[in-house]
Chains A and B, each alone.
Chain A
């Protein structure tokens, strides 16, 4: 085992990895930027080295600085966490070059999986299903229609240069294909100056389901079942669970085999995730492979009992995987909610400020992975994720109930958080039924705002009592009625600025 590992990350994931190292008797080196001086990962690690300027490119993305610190502190391995440098092949290569073990797959595998087209080609060769499509050069109508018919309907016509839905058409039948290709081309030409289009099978009711992989450096690959990650906002997951409510033993077996085949085809080592899209008829297609420990790894740990972070360290040290595929089983149901400093009623924009109070719920089978504390400043420099709240119970209903309880008892004050939103989503009838797709948040919560019923009476009473207890006479904004036309004649709720209630 390593004697010392540097954790090239911050926040909850740095804390998570430091704890795994410490449980295994591995010394730890944390790195931190100027704004993270008092962060939990800094407090917890055996050593902590300052990176200076908080700008990511000058701190947690600065390869030369981090490599230099690793050398100077005598770290034998570097764990990149997720985000930042976790999927940067140059960083992995830089580690290798100076003889420090990068805790993750080899640089060339990171590069291969980072190239989405090359990754798909690799998967096709390994007989892993990919989304049928045409990305060829023949752009005349006759060729495109021929390719379109091969793919089948509904299909998606996509501008090669596209983005933001421009030059994109969903085509439901052959008769509409030609006119859709033409209008997509026209739109693409005027928007991007290029009328090249791709064709891709359009997935109805798509779900995002991924499989966790562990691969050692001796050719052993196992999967640790699925995670259902369909509930997303702005293409980022906010709620994950396992098992997936749509999974059947047969499908799990098929997808698990495909995931193992995908990892083998890529020459993968260490922990990784194979992401699939699953359509309404339970057809699944390879989407991409994430060459890192995922944010949502705890739900797999809860249901399998396997500590993924520790296995990452063991695998990186050359140990063989002990658990065999046949040893593994899923037990119970786990859900993760990502708690962000963001405003769901305002386009999920990040919210910054000082956390005036943080108090996390505790209880049987409630896991709270976090890097925040009361008094901490949430800065605009890094990802606004504050914590990952995980509940585990014997079945999905119980796990949902536990999550509702835990969210209701999670105190985060000082910045706007998405806790109320998460609770509303979890309590939604369709979520409870397991009817979720990647469109779930858009379908049901497009214009969601916090219930504008205003301040509940209980809050008004509590605030008034608090002020009565704490305010000295001079401090309080307090008036006595002198004017018969004063606002006190209109007690109750009214709006500043003359807008109607």
Chain B
């Protein structure tokens, strides 16, 4: 489980994964928050609880539905056994920019292009580490921008219903020394 602070520092870490199966590519994103996994595929978000019972053996609960699966890794590919069938997938690389840049403290970039649906703070507010500052919606998912540390809001760069591009700074936050 990621530390909450770590989550925030990464600006709501989302994994984007591409699986190739039978010449089709599946674009999936997954985010982990508060013991839940939020998986987005084909514009739908699934909220899941999961447990790895034995290595590679997963029990996953989405809503009331429980599925069991076994996953193993070959040299490059992965195999999943689910519902009596085995599927072979390969992770594939797509065009796009690899996320490498480590964020500067207080640099609260939007993780995605979308719409600002809620602004929780205003200029001059004192916030605690983990407080939600702004909510951005994209592809029917909500992304929470949280404070990476205790601090004071210097400026709020967007208001509700604004469109925000990926990488744009949501809120300027000044770190408060303990």
Question: A417 on the interface (CB 8 Å rule)?
Answer: yes
A487 touches B32 (CB 8 A): no
- Given contacts A481-B112, A491-B42, A467 and B15 within 8 Å (CB-CB): yes
Specify which chain B residues have a CB less than 8 angstroms from the CB of A487 in the assembled complex: 25, 27, 94-96
Q: Are A480 and B60 in contact (CB under 8 A)?
A: no
The minimal Cβ–Cβ distance linking B178 to chain A, given in whole angstroms, is 28
Q: Per-residue CB proximity of A342-357 to B under 8 Å, as 1/0? A: 0000000000011011
Assess the B60–A462 pair: CB atoms within 8 A: yes
Q: Is A458 interfacial (CB-CB < 8 Å)?
A: yes
Using Cβ atoms and an 8 Å threshold, which residues of chain A touch B41?
Answer: 457, 460-461, 464, 491-492
Interface residue B64 (Cβ < 8 Å from any Cβ of A) = no
Q: Are B27 and A463 in contact (CB under 8 A)?
A: no
Is the C-beta of B34 less than 8 angstroms from some C-beta in chain A?
Answer: no
Q: B111 at the A/B interface (Cβ < 8 Å)?
A: yes
The answer, yes or no, to whether A483 is at the interface (CB within 8 Å) is yes
* Complex interface bits, B48-91 against A, C-beta within 8 A gives 1, otherwise 0: 10101000101010100001011111100011111111111101
Q: Report how far A499 CA is from B154 CA in the complex, Å.
A: 51
**Inter-subunit contact B24/A454 (CB<8 Å):** yes
Chain B residues contacting A495 (CB-CB under 8 Å) are 23-25
Which of A463, A466, A467 has the most CB atoms of chain B within a 10 A radius of its CB?
A: A463
Is B16 within 8 A of A480, CB to CB? yes
How near does chain A come to B91, taking the closest CB pair, in angstroms? 5
Residues of A within 8 A of B98 (CB): 478-480
Contact partners of B43 in chain A: CB under 8 A: 491-492
**Residues of A with C-beta under 8 A to B25:** 487, 493-496
Contact A459 B97 (CB under 8 A): no
Q: Give the distance in Å from the alpha carbon of A97 to the alpha carbon of B167 in the complex.
A: 85
B113 within 8 A of A: yes
Q: Report B-chain residues with C-beta under 8 Å of the C-beta of A357.
A: 56, 70, 72, 79, 81
B26 surroundings in chain A (CB, below 8 A): 454-455, 460, 492-493
Contact of A478 (CB < 8 Å), options: B15, B39, B78, B85: B15
Among the 9-residue stretches A260-268, A295-303, A407-415, A439-447, the one with 4 or more Cβ atoms under 8 Å from chain B is A407-415
Q: Decide: A459 and B87 in contact? CB cutoff 8 A.
A: yes
A478 touches B87 (CB 8 A): no
Contact pick for A482, options B28, B93, B166, CB 8 Å: B166
A474's nearest neighbour on chain B, judged by CB, is B100
**Interface range, A side:** 35 or more
Q: Does A364 touch B at the CB level, under 8 Å?
A: no
CA–CA, A482 and B92, complex, Å: 18
In the complex, which residues 464-501 of chain A have their Cβ closer than 8 Å to any Cβ of chain B?
Answer: 464-469, 471, 476-484, 486-488, 491-497, 499, 501
Contact residues in B for A408 (Cβ distance below 8 Å): 83-84
Question: Is A165 positioned at the interface, with any CB of B under 8 Å from its CB?
Answer: no
The answer to whether A488 and B167 touch (CB under 8 A), given A411-B70, A460-B39, A480-B97, is no
**Taking the complex as formed, is B21 at the interface, i.e. its CB lies under 8 A from any CB of chain A?**
yes
CB 8 Å contact bits of B6-49 with A (1 = contact, 0 = none): 00000000111111111111111110100001011111001010
Q: Would you call B20 and A462 a contact (CB within 8 A)?
A: no
Interchain CB contact under 8 A, A413 and B93: no
B1 to chain A, nearest CB (A): 10
Known pairs A357-B81, A465-B48; A482 contacts B15 (CB<8 A): no
Q: How far is the CB of A241 from chain B (nearest CB, A)?
A: 20
Picked from A411, A419, A420, A477, the residue with its CB within 8 Å of the CB of B92 is A477
Output the residue of B14, B62, B87, B139 with the most chain A CB within 10 A: B87
Q: How far is the CA of A304 from the CA of B19 in the complex (A)?
A: 50
Instruction: Please measure, in the bound complex, the distance between the C-alpha atom of A357 and the C-alpha atom of B79, giving whole angstroms.
Output: 9
Known contacts A455-B19, A462-B60; decide if A359 and B42 are in contact (CB<8 Å): no
B27 touches A459 (CB 8 A): no
Partner of B99, one of A461, A462, A465, A480: A480
From B23, B48, B111, contact of A496 by CB (8 A): B23
Contact (Cβ within 8 A) A461 B62: yes
Q: With the chains together, A450 CA to B20 CA distance in Å?
A: 16
A475 closest partner in B (C-beta): B91
- A–B Cβ pairs within 8 angstroms, 18 of them: A356-B73, A413-B72, A413-B81, A420-B85, A456-B83, A458-B83, A460-B28, A464-B30, A464-B41, A476-B15, A477-B91, A479-B94, A479-B99, A482-B96, A491-B43, A494-B24, A496-B20, A496-B25
Known: A414-B74, A455-B19. 20 other contacts (CB 8 A): A356-B72, A416-B88, A420-B84, A457-B41, A460-B19, A460-B41, A462-B60, A463-B71, A465-B37, A467-B15, A467-B91, A469-B50, A477-B18, A487-B27, A491-B40, A491-B43, A491-B139, A495-B24, A496-B92, A497-B23
- Residues of chain A touching chain B, judged by Cβ–Cβ distance below 8 Å, are 353-354, 356-357, 359, 407-414, 416-417, 419-420, 423, 450, 452, 454-469, 471, 476-484, 486-488, 491-497, 499, 501
Q: Closest 7 A-B residue pairs measured CB to CB?
A: A408-B84, A479-B96, A356-B72, A413-B79, A482-B97, A480-B99, A492-B42
